[in-house]
Structure 1
Amino acid sequence: MATLYFDPKPIYCFCCGTSIRRNACYYYRREEEDTQNCFCTTCYKNTRGGIITFNGTTVSKTDLIKNKNDRECEEAWVQCSKCKSWQHHICALYNNTRDLDNSAEYLCLLCCLNENRNDVRVPYDAKDLPRTMLGDHIEGRLLKRLGQIERNKNPEVFVADNLSVRVVLSVDKHIEVKKQFLDIFEEDNYPAEFSYASKVILLFQKIDGVDVCLFAMYAQEFGSECGYPNQRSIYISYLDSVKYFRPEIHISARESLRTFVYHEILIGYLDFCKKRGFTTCYIWSCPPIKGDDYIFYCHPESQKTPKKNQLRHWYHSALRKAVEEDIVVGLSNLYDHFFLPTGKCESKVTAARLPYFDGDFWSDAAMDKASQIEQHTAGNREKMLKLIPNRSLKSMGLVNLSKETAKDILVMQKLRQTISPFKEDFIVVQLQYVCIHCHKVIECGKRWFCKECKIFQECERCHTADSHTSVKGEKHKLCEVLTGRILRDTTKEKDIIFNNGLFDTRYNFLSFCQRNRFQFDSLRRAKYSSMMILHFLSKPIGIICQVCCKPIVSKCYWKCGNCPEFTVCSACHIARGSKCHAHTLSETCSAALSSTGSEKLKQNTAVELLDVIKHASQCHSTQTQPCTYPNCLKIRKLFSHASRCTVRVSGGCQHCKKVWQAIALHSRNCRDSACRVPRCMSVTFTSFDLHSFFFL
């Protein structure tokens, strides 16, 4: 039997952010995991004195331990209860989280066949996940489009029944605009925060009887109730896939069936959003750095990381199809849309027109430029005025410049220079006709457009002439058309809300897969990882502590203002304080996790129970010298019973059940690699009745 090893967990330097190579040395804090908050050898040596300082955080070198990035982790095994043969967990699709004390019966596939058993090998099916209107719309449209492909040319195409599209996250959030961005403006009233709906869409395909997750997309929806300029806009934040789609065929000379299916998911999503009243979609076409992952952990070696032009071509190919179906009415880029004047007073170039999204490029770049300007001019507005060349003012359509707008215009001028070389990567998709001057949707009334320049649309308020001058300096005649009301009053939908901590952010999901080694680098591992993802989706795990990697069940927890995905439970914050994270943490209380009086009593009981378990595992009392610690003897008797019981949990023994549940509660809070509590590192947390524990 072959020994198989997982890919090593990626380790990054906490100071410079570079990846620590395999077999290279690094340093980590004594009280933390050896893959968390690490420092590369270069940063360690280049820092003078005994303290490493970065981002306002200081770490003493005496608190750091040297280690080598050479750890190997072997795939776990499971033994068949009948034939005693061994298989890898992954090969057997064995879910060890359902067997706390390793007492459950496991039969290999061969034994099941010999006994003519019809047991379901994989208990989780993607089709059993809750259905939503969005998921049904995308899936229904996808199956219809697959049905339109000619059967004679591609008889293998019709695998539609094996595909499932599901929305696994749909929750309302809000993003606060950073003060550095708000400080750019003096006159404009830019909103201090924006509300939006965060959504995650997954595609599953049943391969060899097992659902495999092949495609994932993160999107942010800013509805009609949101403030301008984010109002009625969508941001496609992340998109990822793994190359296991079946069959591997081409439906045309330039397009594979896999690409066709993934395009249809994106187009179906835009179609659904357009019908709900959204007007604009923003896409940042930015592929990951080679070796990095966006959503899925460990891609297959045969799947190459796309280059910028390849990914941009992929998006444009899908959007051109959407244009042919009248789902998309115009395509542009961020540079042409916001940084070029049109000659109208309503179309002034200002950062106040830029939308503000969670994780985007241009808002962070704008803040960086503003910070550089402040440092260079010491906040002096007159110095800022002198920094703007007249040529730049003319190209931006500006004549007179006041002190109040100097910083805004200077930021836009520098941001324009930054974006210009790769402006095509910032795609602006128009789902409704938008006036090129005032950037507002032409809901009703007269609309003027140019047959040559498809992006040119004019509303009745901004229309002044029957022709316009193109970018090439040519005069084009405008056509007039009467538009009826096209937008719904609200973009809100009456659909199921999913608040799943597993997919709350792409970082949460990626970290979860890395911690549990749910890899997608081979089909066998992709099957197992998808099975485990479906298992956790069937039992949502809520908000996860980024220190102990356990679900947060208390009312209050700690959150980082700079890193929205970083949350810490109260227990870890009490134990480590400021050492939990490089940035300042603030306490947050969740209404969903608020506790009543009885729940507080349970929490106090849980603390007492944890203390007893820890004490009992280290107690050396004898009959002649009995222990006086409350309930210690009772816990030790239960440990002894569990070690020799023949009925066990699988047979219905309630004593064993309570023991394993109590150990699971301890395991949830334990970070000691040398813990003496039996089976501490091999169990998972499950809820149980604390009050009845001591009354066995």
Structure 2
Amino acid sequence: LPARPVTSQPLIHSSSLSPGLGLRMQMGPSPNASTSQQLQPQHSPFGPAPLSVPSSTTSQFQNTNHQANNDCSVQVQQSGPASGRVSSGPPVASPAVSLGPFPSPSQQLSVTSNGGRHPSPPSSPLMTASPAPLTNAPSISGTLTPSPSSQMGKGKFSNHTPSATPAPPRTMAVSSSNSYSSQMAAITASLSRDEDSPTNNHGAKSKGKGDIKLENEDIKEEEENDGRGSGKGMSVGKMKEEPMDESKDDVKVKDEPKSPSDNDSKADVKPTIVPEPIAGSVGLDKKKKCLFKPDDLRQALMPTLEKLYRQDESLPFRQPVDPQTLGIPDYFEIVRTPMDLSTVKRKLDTGQYSDPWEYVDDVWLMFDNAWLYNRKTSKVYKCCTKLSEVFEQEIDPVMQALGYCCGRKYTFNPQVLCCFGKQLCTIARDAKYYSYQNSGQYGISCDRYTYCQKCFNDIPGDTVTLGDDTQTPQTVIKKELFKEMKNDHLELEPFIECTDCGRKLHMICVLHMEAIWPQGFSCENCLKKKTMKRKENKFNAKRLPTTKLGTYIETRVNNFLKKKEAGAGEVAIRVVASSDKIVEVKPGMRNKFVENGELPEQFPYRAKALFAFEEIDGTDVCFFGMHVQEYGSECPSPNTRRVYIAYLDSVHFFRPKQCRTAVYHEILLGYLDYVKQLGYTMAHIWACPPSEGDDYIFHCHPTEQKIPKPKRLQEWYKKMLDKGIIERIVLDYKDILKQAMEDKLSSAAELPYFEGDFWPNVLEERIKELDQEEEEQRKQAEAAEAAANAIYSLQEDNEVGADGKKKGQKKKSNKSKANSRKSSSKKSNTLTSGNNLSEKIFETMGKHKEVFFVIRLHSAQSAASLGPINDPDPFINCDLMDGRDAFLTMARERHYEFSSLRRAKFSSMSMLYELHNQGQDKFVYTCNNCKAHVETRYHCTVCDDFDLCVT
């Protein structure tokens, strides 16, 4: 046989050992010693790369104190057919040589525990096996002597005690999969190559207390009719480990990871093979249908752990944290479940992982602990972030090869909470707030009430008044019932288990929604094995109802992409909501202009919601959304024949990305062209980028998608409008100040009045300012008049004259002057109030003129000859898209994020399902077995809610 490499290690003299030693033979690194040695960056503790054959590399870990006291050096001497011994004596200086021919069954292996050793001829080659921890191995004391081949199975030894009163004999099964050295495995594999396995001739049972388990094989029962403890037909690859009875003097050792079996005497190096899961036995949990062999898991996952260890950033994570040494006594108060690389390796070596996710969870636990305890600016925190990035890159292909989606730990972004204090107040991420959980109080309908710190502290007294309905009495809650919390809760992405193999995969990764596939989820591997395909998702964008507006824009966009030959997926444009609404004039403008007939009390309009989808990797992805207001020919002035683009939002997932901006422009120009043909003459756009963390339509934009600056957004719109002018869709466009001056705007009532626009709120604020100014002027005038009257009365009292008639005439003259002064003051205020409002409006326009675009679609001459506007599309009732708030709120509550392409796919799929089911009766019966919606059903008369369909 070819020689195997032998690593020489210093041996322990048997005289220093106590009686009753356990035989220790090494194979692979020791997991138990990983916590006692300080690892160095250049010295990897993982040994060689995992192979499909036993490794002969010795452990690079130091032994623990308990293990060091139980070491027994092993020497195999070969001096001919009659001498072959294992000795625990001191080492003999001899070079490592080839094993040569294996010893015959008659050769003897002996171990002495009293310091003596059998002499070996100088000419005999010597092989040494370094000490290593032995796990779950029987303790052996005395001399081991092989029985004749006719009485022993392959690789079996009988144990004889030389004492006066012999102990019950024990048999020990040696397998290449056990934690013995590769040299010893080769020796035992070659002993007695008989096809049959003779039984041991010793009469005592060798059966231990526990059940006999064979790693990586089905459980087989040992026949014990002869009581000798040896199995039938034992082969080298199927050696059974016989547990031994433990006495007081026996040495107890921990489990050692077992190496893959090697049926051949030659160490063949095989490529890494994707481990196949083994079917779970009847006694296992029914849910856990997919089980992996520990050795195969180690072979697949160990390279990822080695990759982490080789990183310089892994230094703080190689050993368990010692709070006393590092001077961090509060570590275990903050970190409840510590984890490190050596602990992960030990669990991987000892076969404690039965599922790849258990290993992945431990690694992520280690990262989470470091992120939790350390500051973001600390070195450990940065090292942890770098190491996690390496792990993500390494673990994903490994997990995918094992049949999983990935090896990542996904958490949703924390929600921006709504504050019930001031209007439009929100609670930012990581901000503290106060929360009250509703326990069914009368008069309040919300489940939870949240207040930011400022709003909560601004509430006077020690109570908070809650109430949603003004018709019912308000509910008073004590402040002490509110809990102080922090908006930092991270929710993990949900998993879905395959109904066939039991693998656990991210629901978003596999794009599974229970409402679409109520029959359950089957992974791709199981579908391939069954030669089946996944049931088609019928809730796609193309099956949404079509409209003339949507079809017009869709045709324009797809024709543009065909001309560009961009290779993009087909784009679907759908109008998902269309309804008539009314915008009412706010109180300030109503008091100022409605009462005198300058402005109507309300303006009717049609609100529409339009979305664009592209098919990416066979899945519809929503990448563009727009809400518009259309004020028709029947709408009174100044809103007549105007359209207002209220909200526009996008996520940058359109492919190819070089056509992304052009596609957005095509959608907008297609809409302007369509409404122009209907008879609309003017269009208005408010170019206002969202503030940081704010969303217009889509929840959670990608972090890499930067929010445009106002100037850049204005240039973006100008580029689109310039193209519209070239295509003769747009006649011209101006900023709002130029348009107002061109129209010779003389009153605020001549300004277009749109729902949710900037100007209605500005008008209300300016009117309040004018009212306050007029009130101050009135008070000043009254004070001046009172002062004048006081001065006049003093003059009258001090004046002495004989002619009373003249005095009365003078008094009358002064009163008339005061009255004329008062009337003139009133007249000037009345005349200038309207002009002052216009001045303030023009002043505000000058500050924000570049943000507002006024687009002319028809000239004034052609507009005069236009007929009434008749929208050919029907109404589309959709509560979800009735404005932007409903969809945005649902997306926040259900974590329908658009922060990445994978999440955008899932969110779009969920969005389409909701759109397809809008308007349907929500109170439908569902079959408890197949989850289908049913009309005719069998109802259980015992249970409150249990129905079955007729099928």
Q: TM-score range by the shorter chain?
A: 0.5 to 0.7
Alignment partner for residue 533 of structure 2, among 86, 108, 118? Answer: 118
Q: 8 Å contact 2:688–2:851 — kept in the other structure?
A: yes
Counterpart contact for 2:644–2:754, Cα < 8 Å:
yes
Q: Which amino acid aligns with 2:563?
A: Q
**SS of equivalent residue, structure 2 residue 605:** strand
Q: 1:8 aligns with which of 408, 414, 428?
A: 414
- Structure 1 position 307 matched with structure 2 position 719: no
CA distance in 1, matches of 2:633, 2:490: 51
Deviations 1:266-319 (A, max 9, x none): 000000000000000011110100111110000111100111111111111111
250, 254, 275: which one aligns with 2:677: 275
Structure 1 residue 200, shift from structure 2 partner:
1.1
Query: What is the CA distance between 1:248 and its match in structure 2?
Result: 2.3
SS at match of 2:611: strand
Cα deviation, 1:428-455, whole Å, max 9, x if unaligned, reads 0000113xxxxxx6546xxxxxxxxxxx
Partners of 2:437 and 2:449 within 8 A in 1? no
Distance 1:658 1:266 in 2: 58
What CA distance in whole angstroms lies between the structure 2 residues aligned with 1:322 and 1:382? 55
When the two chains are superposed, the root-mean-square deviation of aligned CA atoms in Å is 3.6
CA deviation after TM superposition for structure 1 residue 176, in Å? 1.5
Identify the match of residue 417 of structure 1 among 840, 843, 867: 843
Q: Is the 8 A contact 1:200 1:503 kept in 2?
A: yes
Could you tell me which amino acid in structure 2 is paired with residue 5 of structure 1? T
* CA positional deviation for 1:407: 3.0
Displacement of 1:336? 1.8
| Residue 510 (1) aligns with residue 888 (2) | yes
Instruction: Provide the rounded CA distance (Å) in 1 between the counterparts of 2:466 and 2:661.
Output: 43
Deviation at 1:147, TM superposition (A): 3.1
Write out aligned runs for 1:28-427 (5 A). 28-31=435-438, 37-51=449-463, 61-62=479-480, 64-98=482-516, 104-149=519-564, 151=565, 157-159=566-568, 162-185=570-593, 187-249=596-658, 257-338=659-740, 340=741, 347-378=744-775, 406-427=832-853
- Counterpart-to-counterpart distance in 2, 1:412 and 1:311: 28
C-alpha separation in 2, matches of 1:350 and 1:146? 46
- Separation in 2 of the partners of 1:217 and 1:272? 15
Letter in 2 for 1:179: P
Question: Which secondary structure does the structure 1 equivalent of 2:583 belong to?
Answer: strand
* Contact 1:122–1:210 (8 Å) recurs in 2: no
Determine the C-alpha separation between the residues in 1 that align with 2:597 and 2:447. Answer: 45
For 1:365 and 1:506, locate their aligned partners in 2 and report how far apart those are by CA, in whole Å: 22
| 2:873 aligned partner, one-letter code | D
- 3-state DSSP of counterpart to 2:890: helix
Deviation track 1:224-265 (CA, whole Å, cap 9, x = no partner) reads 11111111000000000001111123xxxxxxx100000000
Q: Once the 2 structures are TM-superposed, how far is the Cα of residue 491 of structure 1 from its aligned partner? A: 1.3
Segments of structure 2 that go 5 or more residues without pairing to the other structure are 1-356, 358-407, 439-443, 782-826
Structure-1 residue corresponding to 2:260 = none
In terms of Rg, which structure is larger? 2
With 328-337 and 286-295 compared, the bigger mean Cα shift is at: 328-337
Alpha-carbon distance change, 651 to 247 in structure 1, aligned in 2, over 3 angstroms: closer
Q: The residue matched to 1:349 in structure 2 has which SS?
A: coil
2:683–2:854 Cα contact (<8 Å) kept: yes
Matched pairs, number: 485
Deviation of 1:408 after TM superposition, in Å, equals: 2.7
Q: TM-score, normalised by structure 2?
A: 0.47
Closer/same/farther in 2, CA of residues 354 and 552 from structure 1, 3 Å limit: farther
Counterpart of 1:368, as a letter, is E
Q: 1:527 aligns with which of 890, 905, 910?
A: 905
Relative to 1, partners in 2 of residues 1:76 and 1:306: Cα closer, same or farther, differing over 3 Å?
Answer: same
Q: Distance in 2 between matches of 1:83 and 1:94?
A: 16
Distance 1:306 1:15, change over 3 A: same
Deviation at 1:59, TM superposition (A): 7.3
Deviation at 1:15, TM superposition (A): 2.9
For residues 316 and 265 of structure 1, the distance between their equivalents in structure 2, rounded to whole angstroms, comes to 15
Change (3 A) 1:366 1:297: same
Task: Write the distance in 2 (CA, Å) between the matches of 1:505 and 1:63.
Answer: 35
SS at structure 2 position matched to 1:502: helix
Give the letter aligned to residue 191 of structure 1: P
8 Å Cα contact 1:23-1:69 kept in structure 2: yes
CA distances 1:535-573 after superposition (whole Å, capped 9, x unpaired): 01111058xxxxxxxx999xxxxxxxxxxxxxxxxxxxx
Tell me, yes or no, if the aligned pair for 2:676 and 2:858 is still in contact at 8 Å: yes
Quote the offset at 1:219 in angstroms. Answer: 0.3
What's the CA shift for 1:33? 9.7
In the aligned structure 2, how far is the partner of 1:141 from the partner of 1:305? 27
Contact 1:381 1:407 in 2 (8 A): no
Q: What's the counterpart of residue 624 of structure 1?
A: none
Quickly say closer, same or farther: Cα 1:383–1:112, change in 2 above 3 A: farther
Contact kept? 2:896, 2:906, Cα under 8 Å: yes
Q: Which residue of 1 aligns with 2:38?
A: none
Please give the alpha-carbon distance, in whole angstroms, between the structure 1 residues aligned to 2:551 and 2:558: 10
Overall identity of the aligned pairs, in %: 33
Equivalent residues of 2:681, 2:863 under 8 A apart: no
| Displacement after TM superposition at 1:109 (Å) | 2.1
Confirm or deny: 8 A CA contact 1:280 1:432 kept in the other structure.
yes
Structure 1 unaligned spans of 5+:
152-156, 250-256, 385-400, 435-440, 445-484, 543-550, 554-605, 610-637, 665-687, 690-696
Which residue identity lines up with residue 15 of structure 1 in the other structure?
G
When normalised by structure 1's length, the TM-score is 0.63
Query: Shift of the alpha carbon at 1:333?
Result: 1.6
Determine the structure 2 residue equivalent to 1:685. none
CA distance in 2, matches of 1:262, 1:659: 58
Indicate the SS of the match to 2:515: helix
* Counterpart secondary structure, 2:592: coil
Secondary structure in 2 aligned to 1:229? coil
Using a 3 Å threshold, how does the CA distance of structure 1 residues 532 and 74 change in structure 2: closer, same or farther? Answer: same
Partner of 1:433: 859
Counterpart in the other structure of 2:431: 24
- The CA deviation at 1:658 is 9.7
SS for the counterpart of 2:755 is coil
Q: Which amino acid aligns with 2:507?
A: H
CA contact (8 A) 1:188 1:352 kept: no
User: Residue 237 and residue 379 in structure 1: after superposition, are their counterparts in 2 closer, same or farther (change >3 A)?
Assistant: farther
The DSSP-based 3-state class of the residue aligned with 1:183 is: helix
How far apart in 2 are the matches of 1:271 and 1:215?
A: 18
1:33–1:314 distance in 2 versus 1, CA, 3 Å: farther
In 1, Cα distance between equivalents of 2:702 and 2:890: 19
Instruction: After TM superposition, give the deviation of residue 140 of structure 1 in Å.
Output: 1.1
